Structure 1
């Protein structure tokens, strides 16, 4: 069965493909030293945000493809006794659940090669306080360019019906910032983005 998109939607998809290729190349081009420095800087930028309320349950990600590494942040959260979770692909839907991420818990790669907790306790997204999302590109208006799979978008498509919605913060290298991310109707917007240089809160009109 063929799916037809309106011309405007096709233009948006084309723009995203081109931008995604450009920005993935930029983050892959960072040296190991630049990556390590970015990880340390990120912790300094994000620490005041966590300290405001000491979020009890935080979901994050394991870095791949040049994404900013969260290892220093993960170590700090464990010192602060914050519960950590990782996204897990839903078995029957193209969406996400979240699994407890313990220091000694086993991980295994999913179909995309991304490590997931194995035989861990799963929870629903609304049971989290904060979700840190990986991204390919971002703008200061809360726009996020992901990898194109749409898993986060589908997961949060009906968030208005949930008991509560966790805060959504994108995480990126500063070089992934652009003036404007072309958004489709189904794209989720973030509450803000944390880079290795700044925190960019989203202030919707």
Structure 2
């Protein structure tokens, strides 16, 4: 295993354990704080079609976006990633509502049962879960490469959505090993 892969694996293990060790009330506070941060972010407020995720493994939950009655969310549509069944490590996005029926995918992550995939370029903004991040836009995900493969610039023919990372503040690091295929993020919203 290369040094970069070994370092990333070690960081993933440490950060995932920290996320998983958070108590329910800590996660609830983080979700509410994150919602407030998003509602004060001009890029989020101007976006109409937003890719979100259904939290697992200690990630900050974005469910408050679906359950909030805040008028600033009224004209927004939310979409979640669906892991394609092929081996191309591609994500499709499908619209989600708070009443959607969910099932677990092969990684144990919740997905809607009914899927109507959209064109990924039609999203204005994508909120991606992070394992770790730097202030310079480097990110570390779970290691599957799904977001990197899906949002590789050469594949986004019409337009590239803005990519924002979502993480707990303790997930910020000074530096991360960087690979040529790692897609940088524009901004991190943390709680």
Q: Give the TM-score of the pair, scaled to structure 2.
A: 0.91
Rg larger for: 1
2:25 aligns to what?
A: 33
1:118 aligns to what?
A: 113
2:170 aligns to what?
A: 175
127-136 vs 43-52, which deviates more?
43-52
Contact kept? 2:121, 2:156, Cα under 8 Å: no
- Tell me: CA distance 1:119–1:136, structure 2 relative to 1, closer, same or farther (3 Å): same
Contact kept? 1:159, 1:165, Cα under 8 Å: no
| Matched residue SS, 1:14 | helix
| Matched residue SS, 2:39 | helix
Unaligned runs of 5+ in 2: none
Task: Quote the Cα distance in structure 2 between the aligned partners of 1:40 and 1:24.
Answer: 21
1:83 aligns to what?
A: 77
119-128 vs 51-60, which deviates more?
51-60
Q: Give the TM-score of the pair, scaled to structure 1.
A: 0.85
How far did 1:159 drift?
Answer: 4.2
Unaligned runs of 5+ in 1: 197-205
Contact kept? 2:66, 2:97, Cα under 8 Å: no
How far did 1:117 drift?
Answer: 1.6
Runs of 4+ in 1 over 6 A off after TM superposition: none
1:161-200 counterparts in 2 under 5 A? 161-196=156-191
Aligned residue-pair number? 188
- Tell me: CA distance 1:51–1:150, structure 2 relative to 1, closer, same or farther (3 Å): closer
2:122 aligns to what?
A: 127
Task: Quote the Cα distance in structure 1 between the aligned partners of 2:122 and 2:59.
Answer: 26
How far did 1:55 drift?
Answer: 1.3
